[in-house]
Amino acid sequence: MLAANKKRLVIGMSGASGAILGIQLLQILRESPDYETHLVISKGAEETILQETDYKLAEVIALADQVYDINNIGAGIASGTFRTAGMIVIPCSMKTVAGIACGYADNLLLRAADVTIKEGKRLVLATRECPLSAIHLRNMLTLAELGAFIMPPMVTYYNNPMTITDMNRHIIGKILEKFDIEVSGFSRWCE
Ligand SMILES: Cc1cc2nc3c(=O)[nH]c(=O)nc-3n(C[C@H](O)[C@H](O)[C@H](O)COP(=O)(O)O)c2cc1C
């Protein structure tokens, strides 16, 4: 049941490097009075959480309001009738980019993104790979042409970040701005 004063935001975490970005975004959204988070974590992301962070999977899951099994293709977020404000995939691997770009929805994360596109809702992809091949770039162009926001976690310098957490917070602030969510301490140029 959707709380009257809340909007649902679907969060996908896939197996690109930068698992901490998804974790930090969930931590920030926990403080949001307006949104509840619906999280789906790919098997690849389970691996990167383990390899790149000190978080246990259970601790990441505990940050979300609702969590879905990646294989649960019958979950609410697999349907266009399930009300959401949109979806963020953070971090977003090139495999997941390819799946979304082709409409190859063989897991719940891909299906939820496919539904977000077909319903004309906001889709933000924090795509991450380096270097990017022509295949990756073509897939991202396809998605950008469909209206998705391609938001790689690029380093910004004008805000003088002192730590990786500062840099992450800035890109998360830019991503959440797409849903009109203000992140405290987000540094705006000339403001
Ligand atoms: C530690 C680690 C870092 C990885 N980093 C990336 C990355 O930055 N970008 C990427 O596209 N794939 C990366 N991969 C590979 C993906 O996890 C792999 O292609 C996986 O099949 C993606 O599946 P998923 O999108 O369903 O999570 C990484 C894998 C590991 C173990």
Q: Which protein residues are within 6 Å of ligand 1, measured from CB? A: 14-17, 42, 44-45, 47-48, 51-52, 93-96, 128-129
The single-letter DSSP state of residue 7 is: E
CATH class of 7-177: alpha beta
As a whole number of Å, the end-to-end CA separation of the chain is 39
Residue with CA at minimum distance from ligand 1 atom 28: 16
Residues 45/73, Cβ–Cβ less than 8 Å? no
Q: What is the pLDDT along the chain (191 residues), one digit of tens a residue?
A: 666 689 999 999 999 999 999 999 999 999 998 999 999 999 999 999 999 999 999 999 999 999 999 999 999 999 999 999 999 999 999 999 999 999 999 999 999 999 999 999 999 999 999 999 999 999 999 999 999 999 999 999 998 999 999 999 999 999 999 999 999 878 888 88
Global confidence as pTM = 0.97
According to DSSP, residue 39 is labeled E
Q: Which atom of ligand 1 is nearest to the CA of 95?
A: 25
| In the chain, where the domains are located | 7-177
Q: Which residues contact 139 (CB under 8 A, 6 or more apart)?
A: 94, 97, 98, 101, 102
CA of 156 to the centre of ligand 1 (A): 23
Residue 44 Cα: closest atom of ligand 1: 27
Non-local (6+) Cβ contacts of 69 within 8 A are 40, 75, 108
What CA–CA distance (Å, rounded) separates 178 from 153? 15
